[in-house]
Structure 1
Amino acid sequence: MSMNREMIGFSYQPSEPWLVTQENIAAFARAIGDENPIYFDAEVARAMGHNS
């Protein structure tokens, strides 16, 4: 993966807090191409020890 060296040392201001939902998690997983069912199925996530 190439890196834009002009961005070294660049910083961003923090964003406002936002609620992480199942839909947000699934959308992010789809965006990065991660098809692990733990991100799409609450029962699978619970079976893997994620209770929230």
Structure 2
Amino acid sequence: MLGGQAWYYQQIIRLAGDEEADPDLGILKAVGAYVKDELSRAFLTRRARLIAR
């Protein structure tokens, strides 16, 4: 289930960035990219909150 969600998430991110969808994107690669994106966004959010104090 997470693999499918990650795959669709990555396709939406690609479309939002004016790229074409990649139907050949593998599930494992999509999960890896999804986890990387989420950790990156969490780090940036935490850093922004610390700076705003």
User: Given the two structures, how large is their TM-score scaled by the length of structure 2?
Assistant: 0.28
What is the TM-score with the length of structure 1 in the denominator?
0.29
Flag the structure with larger Rg: 1
More helix by share: 2
Considering Cα pairs closer than 8 Å and 6+ residues apart, tell me whether 1 or 2 has the greater RCO: 2
